[in-house]
Structure 1
């Protein structure tokens, strides 16, 4: 699979990527803290604070907004990939009006260090990196929002550290490679023959022009889906964010060559058994109406997580943070507020 914003700006199908690949300057390895005068709660606004956090294998980039809300429960966003970046989440900064919003780039991608050492490409190391960030920021408990591959990390973290997790959002839900591949194949099989041929070309090393692939992926999900181009603010952010963007090396080694084929470290990954270990009343599954995370499969996950809720973003595909940012933020704001209230009641 490849980055949706690299080959085709409106590509909807890649199951893990919330990343933008831009060959820009990398952030220095030393920690950097800065204050910005621009509105920090505007979508794709600047961070209030930036730092590099030491984790196993190197240092990861972390950005924070909403620092003044010291009494509110923070939320951290966990991006997809592997090899993606935090960039797609920057549309959610309106949440910083009420709480601290934390975003980061996983090791080997974005503005984090990129040792590209295969010894680091273990699920448990990614999970422990999250807790290293929590320790570095001196946070006792937080909400964790994962998307796609980030959902797997959010689930693993919640199961291991329930005492530090107030609530969990499993967005564009990937928690099982066998289930994901089955769903991807079902989507392709249901597409017209000409679309299937085009999709195969789009996943090759010599893809056709972007508009051709865009049309094919739109047909794959629904003729009713209307992809939304990135806003000027989003494009400016992607262009100026810095770092090395999406890392195809870790993506190929951990996942595989295309959306429909997993040959890497995650080939047999399946964390569905962990769903029974977490508190369903504190779990939200969140998908787009035309998501590659098929609703039938996610409904089965919910059955394994008693008390969990499901939110479907109307008109959104897998990249619903980009497709429908306003309603996505509203859903998250409502969820986080209700979970905060539940904590207060139980104190």
Structure 2
């Protein structure tokens, strides 16, 4: 039987944590305060967390922690790319764990959140009970080329790519990412907002196979779009501030930690091949290919797979007697 999201719940605690570099991180907790500690890491970079992310997890079993990563969402300032690197985000996660007095926790995430989850695990493996990763992104050059050159996803969505490319008029596709970054971080606020909406529309159109006829009206939150586009382009022009193949080259550090990896077969944002490569090097990782899913976190098969994975991890962690205290 297919699973649906758990019913809506409210956060029982919200706070802002001061971290280095002049940032304040938004943190919320919901579910069972005495349950298994889980942190969910949102995508983007710069996407922000959603109240629906709480609903992947059984609120009776889990102490659910959501955050807005530095520079986006309800974190302050927002949007901001100052003092904003992968290393900063990893340290932010560890500071949150210490702030909340959690010994170890389940680390979950989607898209860019999978990248960040694995980077965190590589730096702090003893703090991780396990991983649930949806839509794997490794932060390698081939993934940027797939998204922003005309030889990747553009081959499947040529009319959408043409619109995305022509928004920055007259630019060679090989320079498209850099040109978007310059507009998004430039002094012309009107141009930056327009570019951010075009950026988010391109990714939104690639993300789902359940919804069609997506146009600019579906990008209706200007602040969220600017956070997403500005911070994503900042990370991508800087190769996510990691060396090429960094995660694969350091995977041995987390290879003993159990992981459930979910990936849509028709994911046009993050290619399935990278999840496949990952599990070849990760003996304790299980790849579940979702046969009728794309990249979106709230497609039917993705919801079903994620909720079942969360239950599987809860049972495993409970059997091990390791609740995150």
The question of a shared fold, defined as TM-score above 0.5 by the shorter chain, is answered with yes
2:227 aligned with 1:245:
no
- Answer yes or no: is the 8 Å Cα contact 1:149–1:174 preserved in 2: yes
Quote the residue 1:54 is aligned against: 18
Write the deviation string for residues 114-156 of structure 1: whole angstroms up to 9, x where unpaired: 1666451221110000011111111111000122111111111
Quote the residue 2:238 is aligned against: 264
Alignment size in residue pairs: 277
Q: Distance in 2 between matches of 1:244 and 1:84?
A: 10
Quote the residue 1:26 is aligned against: none
Q: How high is the TM-score relative to the length of structure 1?
A: 0.68
Write the mapping of 1:1-347 to structure 2, written as runs, cut at 5 A.
Answer: 42-43=7-8, 45-57=9-21, 58-68=23-33, 70=34, 72-87=35-50, 89-90=52-53, 92=55, 94-114=57-77, 118-181=81-144, 183-184=146-147, 187-188=152-153, 190-191=155-156, 195-205=157-167, 225-227=209-211, 244-246=223-225, 247=227, 248-255=229-236, 263-266=237-240, 269-270=244-245, 271-291=247-267, 292-322=269-299, 324=301, 326-341=303-318, 343-344=320-321
Higher helix fraction (1 or 2): 2
Write the deviation string for residues 33-67 of structure 1: whole angstroms up to 9, x where unpaired: xxxxxxxx623x32111111122222100111113
- Answer yes or no: is the 8 Å Cα contact 2:104–2:126 preserved in 1: yes
Moved more, 290-299 or 140-149: 290-299
CA apart distance, 1:88: 6.8
| RMSD of Structure 2 on Structure 1 (CA) | 3.6
Q: Distance in 1 between matches of 2:58 and 2:244?
A: 32
Distance 1:205 1:88, change over 3 A: farther
- Answer yes or no: is the 8 Å Cα contact 1:52–1:60 preserved in 2: yes
Distance 1:142 1:81, change over 3 A: same
CA apart distance, 1:245: 3.0
Q: Distance in 2 between matches of 1:137 and 1:197?
A: 47
Q: How high is the TM-score relative to the length of structure 2?
A: 0.72
Structure 2, unaligned runs of 5 or more: 1-5, 169-193
Structure 1, unaligned runs of 5 or more: 1-40, 256-262
